[in-house]
Structure 1
Amino acid sequence: MTRRTGTTHDPLIVRPEEAEHVPLPHGGGFRLLADASATGGTLGANRLTLPEGADGARPHHHAASSELFYVLDGTVDFFLDGTLTPVGPGGLVVVPPGLPHAFGAARGHSADLLAVLTPGVDRFDYFRALGRIAHGAGSFDALLPEQERYDVHFLDPSAWEAARAR
């Protein structure tokens, strides 16, 4: 990671080999690109690869941040306020604060997407925890007390699970 003084007026350059990789089962994973502390709080960014049909995030909303998703490859099912919408390569989704959403690789497809949260929140530890949970080395319940810290407010997953089962 290259930056001059770390202010919002200085560039941040993250080369591929510098981005921390948090592996997920079956070949997926997070590439941690920029945390809020590296961008003066303006944004946080990560790249997420998902194996065929894998969930990316269970239903949640962000109280203070908007989230931008850019689908690099594959097809992603976005569950936006109760509606399931598939988005393919080159598609962009912007989720405003407060909007319930979830996402995952569509059935029969893998997915590769860029996610940007603005304003930024330091969430690298959140993604590391998700990696441990996905590998059975932690419990999702451990994230519940951290919802304010990460601006990720979890919602009932039953409608998402039902939509994905169709």
Structure 2
Amino acid sequence: MEAETPALVVRPGEAGGATLANGGFELLADGGAVSASRLSLTNGADGAPPHHHKLSHEVFYVLGGTMLFRLGDTLATVGKGGLVVVPPGLPHVFGAAEGEGADVFVVLSPGIERFGYFEQLAAISRGEVDFDSLIPEQDRYDVHFEKLPNWRSAPQNP
């Protein structure tokens, strides 16, 4: 009989963490079938910078508050109980809606070890390191940055 892959169990208080300037990550699973985290954001705070994934789907389930997503050229406001699935290749960015905080469960599949990315992103948000430090890590973490200035505004047609 082949050895089975053991189940992953993360009990309350066992997850790692990364504190953002305006929120924080609870780091639940890193790599394997999924990468999973819980992200809490204060009122109107941005999450990750605009990016896409070449390999992974990213799934967001809003546990509380309201999130704003830019999904390619579409803006979507999603409240508690809402689900967003971002396919590989789609540029996206997200944050708490203006005037609201948000709590969201995030899963990437297949999983790629990303805890280092979240820790570095947290240090950038706190002003401890420069954003440019992540540029050489895009392939490693399957997080490829996009230029989406003023992402909270709907794109204008020329």
Say whether 1:123 aligns with 2:119.
no
How many positions carry a matched residue from both structures? 152
Q: Secondary structure at the match of 1:142?
A: helix
Moved more, 17-26 or 72-81: 17-26
Report how far residue 152 of structure 1 moved.
0.4
Say whether 1:10 aligns with 2:1.
no
Q: Relative contact order (alpha carbons < 8 A, sep ≥ 6): 1 or 2 greater?
A: 2
Alignment correspondent of 1:29: 24
Q: Name the % identity.
A: 57
Note if contact 1:58-1:160 (Cα within 8 Å) is conserved in structure 2: no
Report how far residue 104 of structure 1 moved.
0.2
Q: Secondary structure at the match of 2:112?
A: coil
Say whether 1:73 aligns with 2:69.
no
Report how far residue 8 of structure 1 moved.
6.6
Alignment correspondent of 1:97: 88
Q: Distance in 2 between matches of 1:102 and 1:60?
A: 6
Q: Secondary structure at the match of 1:158?
A: coil
Cα separation, partners in 2 of 1:71 and 1:161, compared to 1, 3 Å: closer
Q: Return structure 1 stretches of 4+ with deviation > 6 angstroms.
A: none
Report how far residue 106 of structure 1 moved.
0.3
Say whether 1:88 aligns with 2:79.
yes
Map 1:131-142; keep pairs closer than 5 Å: 131-142=122-133
Note if contact 1:8-1:42 (Cα within 8 Å) is conserved in structure 2: no
Report how far residue 161 of structure 1 moved.
5.1
Cα separation, partners in 2 of 1:151 and 1:114, compared to 1, 3 Å: same
Alignment correspondent of 1:150: 141
Amino acid across the alignment from 1:146: E
Q: Distance in 1 between matches of 2:4 and 2:113?
A: 15
Cα separation, partners in 2 of 1:84 and 1:108, compared to 1, 3 Å: same
Unaligned runs of 5+ in 1: 1-6
Unaligned runs of 5+ in 2: none
- Which structure's residues are more often helix, by fraction? 1
Cα RMSD of the aligned pairs, angstroms, is 1.3
